[in-house]
Structure 1
Amino acid sequence: MTHHSAAHRPEAMNECIDNCTQCHAICMETIHYCLGKGGAHAAPEHIALLTTCAEICSTSANAMLRGASVHNVVCGACAEICRQCADACDAMNDPEMTRCADACRRCVESCSAMAA
């Protein structure tokens, strides 16, 4: 039974946990923003993507925090969902959405590395 704490985890994993945690928070804030704005921002498909992205980021961070050996599978899925979410947010030409896209892309990078 290995004891997993920040000190015992590789630095790249700690960074990935931070990126996932931050992306989760920003996606949640962005959902709130989008629902308030209405129109295309609040389209069901867009909200569904943001919500799924927030959830997989949370799951991904939790898998790494638990030391689950399947974290690479979750991180792979997280990277793909974050990539699609980033593209969708970028397409909206809105500074708030660009902020979300940037957080998603940071997550794509670190999760891709963890999935490898």
Structure 2
Amino acid sequence: MTHHSAADRPQAMNDCIDNCVQCHAICLETINYCLTKGGAHAAPEHISLMATCADICATSADAMLRGSSVHNVICGACAEICRQCAADCESMGDDAQMKRCADICRRCAESCAAMAAAA
């Protein structure tokens, strides 16, 4: 298998990797924020969705970094989970941290959807 560096990958894929890495990080940070805030923010379904989003974003980034031929399948799943996570975060009301998480989830969803479609 040939080794691919960032220079060999299409720019759209490099951008998608960056979005996935960022989304993974913000979801983990937002889980901490939500658990500290308590109430609806700490609801098991909400925490679970953010944790799953963080996981799939990491897996998606890893698959693209490896040059795995199945990355499109993972990116498709990642896009859907990021969309659901964005909507869930937005439903928490007027909260800067939740809005930031939703925005990054949405951006990640768009780039992952494009990657899934490009395959």
Normalising by the residue count of structure 1, what TM-score does the alignment of the two structures yield? Answer: 0.99
Alpha-carbon distance in 1 for matches of 2:102, 2:44: 18
Matches within 5 A, 1:41-60: 41-60=41-60
**1:45-81 Cα distance to aligned partner (Å, 9 max, x none):** 0000000000000000000000000000000000000
Give secondary structure in 2 for the equivalent of 1:21: helix
Matches within 5 A, 1:17-96: 17-93=17-93, 94-96=95-97
The AA in structure 1 aligned to 2:111 is S
Alpha-carbon distance in 2 for matches of 1:111, 1:2: 24
Alpha-carbon distance in 1 for matches of 2:55, 2:3: 26
The AA in structure 1 aligned to 2:48 is A
Deviation at 1:14, TM superposition (A): 0.1
Give ranges in structure 2 of 5+ residues lacking alignment. none
Give ranges in structure 1 of 5+ residues lacking alignment. none
The AA in structure 2 aligned to 1:5 is S
Q: Look up the match of 2:116.
A: 115
Q: Look up the match of 1:105.
A: 106
Alpha-carbon distance in 2 for matches of 1:4, 1:115: 19
Identity rate, percent: 78
RMSD: 0.5
Deviation at 1:82, TM superposition (A): 0.2
Alpha-carbon distance in 2 for matches of 1:102, 1:2: 35
Normalising by the residue count of structure 2, what TM-score does the alignment of the two structures yield? Answer: 0.96
**Following superposition, which runs of at least 4 residues in structure 1 exceed 3 angstroms of deviation?**
none
Deviation at 1:8, TM superposition (A): 0.4
Deviation at 1:2, TM superposition (A): 2.0
Give secondary structure in 2 for the equivalent of 1:5: coil
